[in-house]
Amino acid sequence: MSTKIKTALSKYIAQSGRCSRRQATDFIKRGKVRINGNVVTIPFTLVSDEDSITVEHRPIEPAKKIYLLLNKPKNVISTLSDEKDRKTVSDLLQPYFEERLYPVGRLDRATTGLLIMTNDGDLTQRLAHPKFEVRKVYQVTSSDFNITQKNIDQLLAGIELSDGFMKVDEAHYPTDSKRVLSITIHSGKNQIVRRLFKALGFDDIKLDRTNYAGLTKEHLAVGAWRHLTKQEVTNLYEVETKEILKKEKKPRNIKAKKYYARL
């Protein structure tokens, strides 16, 4: 599979900071733009960083793409700003980056763990699209009581929530403690893990996302971030439906009724 990323010409020019996308479209239609020396008048012509592009004979430099993996702390909002002036993920990065970096795979304020931060809109849209069922692993810690095998069976069999039937892909105890459970899920619905556990009677849980699209928290302290490698970015772009899952042993089949909850 080719990893060369193609972008509409008007968008590519706008992303370079040369002008707005509307202005870029106007330049293109007026014959002021060349690709590899040839005049192009179609704004949606696909180009990549390997192409030589000029606007009014001035070369266009590709926008610098930034890809970060952030280990979000508790009580930090997964947005660029907050009307209540609460701390955001953007606040954690502002001392280091002038670019506007957007969170991919949002987490609620109380949940800790992995977020991708990037100014690559194409990757953001790709990972957010439902058909690219991105694999996410959460560590769930119950503050109230043990998570039983029956609870695990219920999560694997599925629970009917107010917005549809949901189930986890995998669930197991990562330690000897029955109050800690590791679950794997693909759904990106709002607070889906909290709602699943609330349906089972768990009102007080701690959530930590330990894996996002194959990326892990290894050597990444709470509140810290690191740049993604070129290979990691390539892997994210090569995610196909279901393909992000490694060929792991599937969970055993659970013959159980659906569990219903209006959450």
In this structure, is residue 240 part of a structural domain? yes
Q: Examine the domain organization and report whether 76 and 38 are in the same domain.
A: no
Q: Examine the domain organization and report whether 96 and 166 are in the same domain.
A: yes
Residues 239-252 pLDDT 10s: 654 444 444 444 44
Residues 123-182 pLDDT 10s: 888 888 777 779 999 999 998 889 999 999 999 999 999 989 999 999 999 999 999 999
Catalytic residues: 108
In this structure, is residue 186 part of a structural domain? yes
Q: Examine the domain organization and report whether 25 and 129 are in the same domain.
A: no
Query: Is residue 9 within 8 Å of 45, Cβ to Cβ?
Result: yes
Q: What is the dihedral of CA 10, 14, 19, 21, to 10 degrees?
A: 50
In this structure, is residue 220 part of a structural domain? yes
Q: Examine the domain organization and report whether 156 and 31 are in the same domain.
A: no
Q: Examine the domain organization and report whether 138 and 155 are in the same domain.
A: yes
Among 59, 76, 96, where does a domain finish? 59
In this structure, is residue 155 part of a structural domain? yes
| Domain of residue 11, residue span | 7-59
In this structure, is residue 247 part of a structural domain? yes
Q: Examine the domain organization and report whether 208 and 239 are in the same domain.
A: yes
Q: Examine the domain organization and report whether 237 and 165 are in the same domain.
A: yes
Q: Which of 17-21, 176-180, 192-196, 215-219 is predicted least confidently?
A: 17-21
pLDDT band at 6 (very low <50, low <70, confident <90, very high): confident
The CATH number given to whatever domain includes residue 252 is 3.30.2350.10
The CATH number given to whatever domain includes residue 14 is 3.10.290.10
Residues 184-203 pLDDT 10s: 999 888 899 999 999 999 99
Give pLDDT, residue 90: 92
In this structure, is residue 212 part of a structural domain? yes
Q: Examine the domain organization and report whether 177 and 216 are in the same domain.
A: yes
In this structure, is residue 2 part of a structural domain? no
Please give the share of the chain, as a percent, with pLDDT higher than 70. Answer: 89
Q: Examine the domain organization and report whether 75 and 40 are in the same domain.
A: no
Q: Examine the domain organization and report whether 51 and 84 are in the same domain.
A: no
Rg of the chain (C-alpha set):
22
pLDDT band at 4 (very low <50, low <70, confident <90, very high): low
Q: Examine the domain organization and report whether 46 and 84 are in the same domain.
A: no
Among 21, 40, 59, where does a domain finish? 59
pLDDT higher than threshold 50 for residue 2: no
In this structure, is residue 1 part of a structural domain? no
pTM: 0.74
Q: Examine the domain organization and report whether 128 and 185 are in the same domain.
A: yes
Number of domains forming the structure of the chain: 2
